[in-house]
Amino acid sequence: MDTSGKQASTFWGLGLQYAVLGSLLLAVVVVPLYFSPLFQDYNLPKQVLLEVLVVLAAVLWVLRMAVGGEISVIRSPLYATVLVFLGVNLVSLLWAGNRAQGLTVIFQYACWFLIPVVVFHGVRSAAHLRLLAGAMAFTGGVVALIGLLQYNGIYSLYTRDTYPVSTIGNVTFVAEYYDVVFPITLSLVFLFRNIWLRLAALAVCVLVGAHLVVMGSRGGWLGAAVALSIFLGVWLIRRLRIGYRLLYVAVIWIAAVAGWAVLDDVTSAVWVGPGEDVGDLAGDRWARMAGRMEKALNVEDDASLQRVYLWQDTFRMASDRFLIGVGAGNFEYAIPRYASRQALEVKTRLERRQRRELMAFRAHNDYLEIWAETGILGLGAFCFLLYQVGAAIYGLLKRYVQGEGDILIVGLAAAFVATLAHALVSMNFQNPASGLSFWLVVGMAWSLKLNREGAQRLRILTVRQRSTTLRVAAAGVLVLAGTVAVEAQALFGAYHYHLGATWLKQEGYASAQSELERALRYRSPRAFLVYQALGLSLSGQGRWTEAAQAFEESLARHPNNATVHHHLGVALGQVGRHEEAAAHFQEAIALSPASAAFHLKLGQALAESGDRRAAFRAFEQAEALAANRPEVLNDVGFAYMTQQHPEPARRVWQGLVDRWPGGAEYRLNLSVALIKLGEQEAALAQCRQALKRVPKSARAYAVLGAIYESQGDSLQAREAYQKAFAR
């Protein structure tokens, strides 16, 4: 190759190297900050952006090597562990119920693991590592600033939560993200030599700390405490190892204790809201959190109970499929089959409180979830990978406490340990923002290890001709284009699903159907939810046969969805297929035995199919389960009346009147039952009580007319009916 060719190769190689770094920096900024109201799942666009940018960085990295004349990789023990883990995930899909979802998750894992590989191949200089850390700190500061602006009502961001969650989309997810960002930013406070950069890093630490206080996340405080403990422990050991005596350390400790009052003054000067400062708010949050922690330790509140029961259910799932698991990405599809009655009771209480259906998409313990999905083989491979990274970080820390290296490794170590600790009770490895940050930490730590120890390379391909470089570039473009196409399909599907779900809430069933059918033309994530919503939109239009088909498609993708079994049973009942409807109601009850509504629907289906004895047993079970749900008890009363059994209906409605005496509807229903039982005077008394509460009710006058008619008083009956018609 001539001199001009070498210069061109060097120029392109250098440009591609900076392009790799630029792709990573763009991911660091865009993934945490992007937030849109156009999707039900605010994590989806973040994951799409992450995967596209990671694949872009990987393609640019390979192309840079091709331009340089040789495609090679640094020898690393991580490769074998990662390949074993991905292999176990693939094998687990042989027994998975939803293989499409499993392949999606495996691709996500592959992108996670590509991040450190690209980093320790393409980001090795100290300046570039600091630039990457600085970008993480900058983005974390923006996230915290937006959260504090939300808290003060200065900036409004679309979110389903009432907390100032900023652009991450959930209090827990923000806390997981700060597990990494906070310790890295803290290390930059000591690492930067420029006073302005140091002050900027300190300002970010203050913002993140204030946001953590505002959110009051127990997991976030846990991560911050672990990170600060790592910093303090390493600092003390370093002071001792490089020559300082214990007396000197003691003096420093005394100064630190004395400085607590100064810290209190400083926090009192940091304003976070009208009449609120960080110090006072932290004290208030700590008092609340201490109470919540006490309840959590004693497993008293529903939030703690739900998590403990979910862990127990996940452990049962993992034990049942011990070796290979239920399949990568299939946790959410399998967990309902293992849900305990206690877990379902807590879920029911939370659903009533929040007035929406809750589903267990995650185990709230990353290690348990990996075990449940990929068995002990997958968990073993993943934990061994963490051990390899931890061992490398430990080696770098040993050198640091001996006086070698800079404090960035302490920030990386603190971020690594804080994430591992928080993942015991959360989903750090699943959240795009925290997952990206964590695997960047792994790559940066491995880069420092290679800078210290050197690296051997494994040659894969020697590139001597320009045509070979062009073929490599073409292959890279195809891979990137394929990734973009697949991810765009997911985004379009999710966008139309969001529009359909919005129309469905507004009872615009035809518009909802149109949008949901569009969503299904694309690669809709969690397609079972799209088919479920489509079934509901068709049900709303009275198109029961088509609705039943949509619900069946939903169950084909998620057979353990009790709610869809219930909806399918309703649709089948509407078209006269009562025995099939009863079978689906029984399946719904098997998955969620505490649901009074499911027992009620089962009873109605059994009654329609002719099994009245079993129907009444189902009605009695529904009545027992609906003790605190008047709307369900009211329906139970109607079910008894439909079967010409006014006595149990009278019992149900009398109980409702006794417990909710202001409910005029319950008194009118009781009146109807009393008419059937021949107790006209008692019916008249209840009807008059109802009229006192709703004097303009047409139904009340209609019931009054029926009472007079049953007494043979046609004149007063006609007068009551006329008033009913007038109203």
8 domain-assigned? yes
Q: Name the domain boundary from 225, 257, 286.
A: 286
> In a 3-state reduction of DSSP, which class is residue 79?
helix
The residues of the chain scoring below 50 in pLDDT are 1, 259-267, 269, 286, 290, 293-299
517 domain-assigned? no
pLDDT number for residue 246: 52
Same domain, 232 and 265: no
pLDDT number for residue 298: 44
Same domain, 446 and 336: yes
DSSP designation for 73: E
Q: Give the range of the structural domain holding residue 675, as residue numbers without chain letter.
A: 635-727
pLDDT number for residue 247: 54
- DSSP assignment of 408-450 equals HHHHHHHHHHHHHHHTTSS-TTTSHHHHHHHHHHHHHHHHHHH
Q: Report the domain count for the chain.
A: 3
Residue 92 backbone phi and psi in degrees, to 5: -60, -25
pLDDT number for residue 586: 95
Task: Report how far residue 616's alpha carbon sits from residue 618's, in angstroms, rounded to the nearest whole number.
Answer: 5
Task: Report how far residue 37's alpha carbon sits from residue 42's, in angstroms, rounded to the nearest whole number.
Answer: 8
pLDDT number for residue 261: 46
Same domain, 71 and 187: yes
> In a 3-state reduction of DSSP, which class is residue 183?
helix
pLDDT number for residue 368: 94
pLDDT number for residue 595: 87
Same domain, 669 and 700: yes
Same domain, 60 and 112: yes
Task: Report how far residue 107's alpha carbon sits from residue 110's, in angstroms, rounded to the nearest whole number.
Answer: 5
Same domain, 261 and 337: no
Same domain, 235 and 193: yes
Same domain, 235 and 372: yes
pLDDT digits (tens, 9 = 90+) for 6-15: 555 666 778 8
CATH number of the domain within which 682 lies = 1.25.40.10
Same domain, 263 and 136: no
613 domain-assigned? no
CB-based burial label for 310 (10 Å; 0-12, 13-18, 19+):
buried
> In a 3-state reduction of DSSP, which class is residue 71?
strand
51 domain-assigned? yes
Q: Name the domain boundary from 464, 491, 506.
A: 464
79 domain-assigned? yes
- In this prediction the pTM is 0.85
pLDDT digits (tens, 9 = 90+) for 129-149: 999 999 999 999 999 999 888
Q: Name the domain boundary from 464, 499, 526.
A: 464
pLDDT digits (tens, 9 = 90+) for 643-662: 888 899 999 999 999 988 88
158 domain-assigned? yes
Contact 444, 121 (CB under 8 A): no
Task: Tell which residue, 336, 341, 347, 317, has the closest CA to residue 560.
Answer: 336
pLDDT number for residue 468: 86
Task: Report how far residue 152's alpha carbon sits from residue 136's, in angstroms, rounded to the nearest whole number.
Answer: 25
pLDDT number for residue 105: 94
pLDDT number for residue 260: 44
